[in-house]
Chains A and B, each alone.
Chain A
Amino acid sequence: MKILMQQSRDSSGLDIDEWDIGIIGSPLDDRGYAATGFVQQKVKKVIHMTVLQQEFRFKLDNHTYDVDDADEAFQDMTGKSVLIESTTLGFVEILLISSALLKSNGNEVSYLYIEPKEYRRERKSLVLHRRDFDLSGEVPGYQAIPGYSLILLDNVNQKVIFFAGYESSRLEKALEDCPWILSKNASIVFGVPAFNPGWEIDSFTNNIAVISERNLTGGIHFAGATNPLAAYDLLISVHNGLEASEQLFIAPIGTKPLAIGIALFAIEKDNIGILYDHPIKKPGRTGDIANWHLFKAMVK
């Protein structure tokens, strides 16, 4: 897989293509509106996508498909230039689209992502909760994504990689829901450099207690929070070092650009287990917009 990346303070600084199709999700905050507005201007056709996780289905505009039928659903887009608006789409959507469109050599897909200027913090208490963020509403919990789910048993030879974000409860819940994860085999990837200098401290502080209490000793890694290539490369190097019987589980619970790198890795390799908790994101979870990113993934 070849991954190209560009970044700019605003959309005018991006070297952009013309796209046939743009796939967007529902905007929840300033950057979401900016991103979907941009897509609507720059592509010939816009398609809205929603995943109905409990149903194992997804919708493209008004058409509903089974997750298992993703290849057929996106068949008409093969060979066309597609822009995936990843600010408003979730990890599952990105995985399904990428998997369907990046099957053959020469295929390519672009991803737009806009950083927020700030994340919403909880107004609950100043003293003890100043690093708490109010990003997710209901969290259905860790549920399988067909095509990317492996059974976890205590005798499964495993390596588990968590890409951590601000909400340490997502990491903790994975360990609670999947007690077969062996702490010695679990490693954490922090998004460093973060979107803004200093933001990584929130992620460290929130997750360090879980890492320590759960005695996660598989190692700590770093990958730039806005850098899907770093996530992809890191996973390739971990994958290359796996023992024959070892199975790799990845939890994309960090930043979206890292989730894109994970999706690109997962669709390229066989037998990758994805652990994902499908949080329902809160409206207005971030404020204002910061840097714009355009990534392009190509099958080599």
Chain B
Amino acid sequence: MNKNQSIEGALSQNRAEEQGNDLWEDFVIPPFYKKLDLLIAKKPRVIVGGRGCGKTMLLKYLSHNSQFSPNRSQIPSDTIYHIGIYWRVDTHFASMMTKRSLSDDTWINAFSHLASLLIGIEIFKSLNTIAKSSFEGLGQDDINKLDLAALRNFDPGMPTTAGDCERHLTDRLWQFQTWLNNVRKIPDPVFLPTSFIKVIISQIKEQFTVLENANYFVYLDEYENLLPEQQRIVNTWLKHSEMPLIFNLAMKRSSFNERQTIGNESLVAINDYRDFDLEKFYVDENAFDSFAAEILFLRLSKNGVRDLPIVPADLRDVDKLEFRNNTDYKTKLIACAQKMFPGFSQAQLAKDVFKDKPLKDRLKSQISAALSYRNSKISVSKFMKDKIPESVIIVPALLYRKRERPEDILSQLENQLKGLENHFTGKRGWTHNFFVGCLLLLYEPLNRICPIYSGFKTFCQMANGNIRYLLELCHRSIANADVINSNSIKILQKHQSAAAKQTSTSFLGEIRNFGRYGNRLHTFVLRLGGLFNHGHRRKTQSEPEPTHFSIVINTQPLSDEHQQFLAEAIKWSVIFEAPSTKDKSPLDSETTEYILNPIYAPYFKISYRKGRKLTISSQDFRNLIDGSVNDYERLLKNYISKWEVETSNGTQSLFSELNLAK
């Protein structure tokens, strides 16, 4: 393997599931870790976050396999206060634990039995993990002496030693599997209640002085995939959690819909649990970029890249969190990441347009067409001011605005050139407001990727709290680079932009797997992205860079089904929900904005920034979700006509198959 492949390989595994159970050396403690209070918590925790934000990594880090990792050279004695058990239910298998003419009680007992078996087995495994670790005071000989005769109260056939008990529980798991497949042909087994787990724990605590203060924390991942009746069982365990056995949950956003227990009680936040939204921490603490850089550097350092601004051991040391939160340190991290993945400044992007003949020619022809539209006799060359290319790039959009006279626009350009007060860089902020939209429009018909999608900070914005997206953007960028010097990684912007397009396309395809509505969500994103793409192609660039929308509830309110669809889109992070920053008209009564996940921006050739809001009617929203292709064509045509978008440029676009002729 050459260096390039080795560095690339460092980033290719970006799912927690691919990394095994012991993450001690791979985990970077998130900056908000202390706020989670996980290691000293006495109440259950509900951890919420979108796909790829690091939930599973965190849970696996808290599990015994990582905390008592053979790679951890010194394990503090208080680590046994918190022994984590990671549990992701095989929901495919568990899905048949319902109905089938068996009583609800039978299924409650069966699901509790499955939990008791799996958690019981894992507790025995945790003893072995601890014994093999550098933690002092518990050896294999001690485990062999553990007397578990008390468990015979639950199962007379239960052996008395830990190793035999673990094997017995595994055998019972296979017996349970056979019963579950043949519930009519085989009598019900004797189900183990969850109190069985408590007795295992009490025996361990009683017989091992070193573990007398041990507590077990079960981390149940992907809670949202359980059946509602199974969620109610888990809720009951959560509600009645007490030391030394605490149940905790992790799930996607907007999916904690079932709060009932199997009794008459329901779960109440704060009283019964505390919830944490991981992505909210990234936003509130402005922490994502530096945290992502640390993860990137840790991966690279493990694959031989030197001179990185991190000390790997510090990243897994809770005591170093304060240091890692230091502004100088964070600035250094971002600077180094930005050096590896440099972006272009707006000025550089503009200069490059003037150096690139096809782009410069297209700019000239845009200006020429706009001048003709305004019946202006001013020559194109008068606008082509090489010294202020950023401003020239937005000239076509300004020329299409009937309120601005071509002579005045030219005069403003000349004022800027002379260093006088002007609308481009002055209070009206023309360049600031319209540059990105105009640059995208310049690249749109050319079969080239706009370089705005490069730079580490841009990658962070496109990843939007999703570590997996960020690593994949970096991974593909490195893969695109021809040669990499491992001591001085620097990826060209064109390779990064190409990576952004590839990553965007790949993650767009993944939407089909997002739950039962995956195919519909995929269609919705293609349609919404298509609409935004046309919004970016408005000649005037009024309302530039539309990347989010709100829904006007006029005559037809959204049905329950459409509300559910919206919730599903938020759950899978296809769109993000945000309170509306401003309502533009009395009709715009909705107070929520929905932002298209910026990872899809390169695919649709649109801005990854939160630009202007598009207000759509509830009818248009319904058409985006499940209107026919003809409905969608009609919808696009309406907007194209309203926005005066040029569609017949002769090039094949993302939407060539649609009939959008006026």
Contact = CB atoms under 8 A, between A and B. Distances in A.
A40 interface: no
Contacts of B90: 151-153, 178, 180
B96 A146 contact: yes
A89 to B, nearest CB: 21
B652 A137 contact: no
A159 B177 CA distance: 18
A160 to B, nearest CB: 12
A55 B98 CA distance: 8
Interface in A205-248: 209, 213
Contact of B92 (A68, A127, A172, A177): A177
A144 B99 CA distance: 13
B304 to A, nearest CB: 21
Nearest to A143: B95
Given A56-B99, A127-B653, A138-B520, A169 B181 contact: no
A139 B515 CA distance: 7
Contact of B519 (A126, A138, A151, A213): A138
B88 interface: yes
A212 to B, nearest CB: 10
A61 interface: no
Nearest to A177: B92
A124 B653 contact: no
Contact of A141 (B17, B510, B516, B657): B516
Contacts of B92: 142-144, 149, 152, 177-178, 275
A209 B657 contact: no
Contact of B516 (A138, A178, A180, A213): A138
Contact of A140 (B21, B180, B516): B516
B256 interface: no
A182 B184 CA distance: 32
B42 to A, nearest CB: 30
Contacts of A169: 509-510, 512-513, 518-519
B518 A148 contact: no
Contacts of A137: 519-520
A176 interface: yes
B196 to A, nearest CB: 19
B428 to A, nearest CB: 38
A202 B653 CA distance: 22
A144 B93 contact: yes
B118 to A, nearest CB: 8
A248 B519 CA distance: 29
Contacts of B509: 168-169, 209
Contacts of A151: 90, 93, 173, 177
B220 to A, nearest CB: 15
By size class, the interface of chain B is 35 or more
Interface in A117-163: 123-128, 136-154
Bin chain A's interface residue count: 35 or more
A144 B381 CA distance: 70
Contacts of B100: 56, 66-68, 146
A173 interface: yes
B516 A139 contact: yes
Contact of A68 (B93, B101, B658): B101
B4 interface: no
A172 to B, nearest CB: 5
A232 B93 CA distance: 24
B519 A68 contact: no
A177 B88 CA distance: 11
Nearest to B447: A127
A168 B93 CA distance: 22
A171 B89 CA distance: 20
Contacts of A136: 519
Interface string A166-187: 0111001100111110000000
B506 interface: yes
B656 interface: yes
Contact of B177 (A57, A141, A150, A213): A150
Contacts of B33: none
A268 interface: no
Nearest to A169: B512
Contacts of B655: 125
A288 interface: no
B519 A139 contact: yes
Contacts of A10: none
Contacts of B180: 146, 149
Given A68-B183, A123-B629, A169-B509, A144 B96 contact: yes
A126 B91 contact: no
Given A152-B92, A173-B513, A179-B15, 12 more contacts: A56-B96, A68-B100, A125-B654, A126-B652, A127-B653, A136-B519, A138-B519, A141-B516, A143-B95, A150-B93, A150-B177, A172-B510
Interface of A: 55-57, 66-69, 123-128, 136-154, 167-169, 172-173, 176-180, 209, 213, 275
22 contacts: A56-B96, A56-B99, A67-B100, A124-B523, A125-B526, A125-B655, A128-B505, A137-B519, A139-B518, A141-B515, A144-B94, A148-B181, A151-B177, A169-B513, A169-B518, A169-B519, A172-B510, A172-B513, A173-B513, A176-B513, A177-B91, A179-B17
Interface of B: 15, 17, 21, 88, 90-96, 98-101, 173, 177, 180-184, 225, 505-506, 509-510, 512-513, 515-520, 523, 526, 629, 652-658
- Complex A-B, nearest 3 residue pairs according to Cβ-Cβ distance, in ascending order: A169-B512, A144-B96, A179-B17
